[in-house]
Every structure is written in C-alpha cells, then in structure tokens.
Amino acid sequence: MNSPVRKKGVLRTLAAALMLMMSGMALAEGSVDLSQSPEVSATPEGAIRMPKQQERMALNYVNQPPMIPHSVDGYQVTTNTNRCLQCHGVEHYRTTGAPRISPTHFMDSDGKVLSGVAPRRYFCLQCHVPQTDAPPIVENTFTPSQGFGK
C-alpha cells in the first residue's frame, strides 16, 4: 500500500510536470506575455482609472455575476469586515438604494439557508468585478448569448 504522504508527493510531481508542459506548449504557440504588454502600466500615468459611478452594464450570459458600476478603491473585505455589505446587505439596501445581495449568497454548498452571507460568497471580488472601458489586454472574440449584452 502507498502511504498518503507518498501519494501527495506523486501528485505534486505530476502537477508540476503538467504545468511545465502546458507553459512550454503556450510558448511554442507564440502566446502573449502579459507582463510585457505595452497597454498595461503599473505607473500612475498609465493606470486605468475607475469611474466613480456609471450605469450598470448588461449581462452577457445566464447567471453572470453583475459587474460593479462604481469604484471599489479603498474597499476593505477581510474575514472581519466587508465594505460591500454596508450598502448591499439586507439591513441597508433600502436606505442606500443599492441592489440587495442575492438570496443565493446565503446558501452554503449543501443548499442550506444560513442567517448570514455564506463563507464561499463573502469575498465579493472573487466573482463581481468593477466595470471599465479599458482596452483588452489580449484579443477577445467572446460574443454574448442570444438576447444578452444589450
């Protein structure tokens, strides 16, 4: 019998080999090195500015997490605090005018309804991203599902 430690070592080795193989294939195909892209700059002069507030963008596919139509600069989301819930939480959305957090965000992975936001849905920026009209870093040929994106 193989020990669990030995199995983990074998899995790590296989994962590392797969990553190396995939990166080699990407280089052979002439992939874009995003760290060298001239359109993206970490300097203040070239930084992409987020608008303070804008109209909400249309969704592009079923169950797409809505994009954030305002800047989130300085928002704190940690295990102890979530700035998003100060406007979007069930206690506040009526007074702030912000959309209410979806009921699905209160279900755990087993579908059990919780009294608070489920841990897997607590870190909003994992799924919801700020809108911007920044130019794409790489070519994008995605087209919205029929009836979406309008």
Return binding residues: 70, 84, 87-88, 105, 124, 127-128
User: Closest Cα partner for 54 from 136, 134, 148, 132?
Assistant: 132
Query: What is the C-alpha to C-alpha distance for residues 77 and 117, in angstroms, rounded to an integer?
Result: 13
Query: Helix, strand, coil proportions of the chain in percent (round to 5)?
Result: 30, 5, 65
Q: Which amino acids are annotated as binding site for heme c, given as ranges?
A: 70, 84, 87-88, 105, 124, 127-128
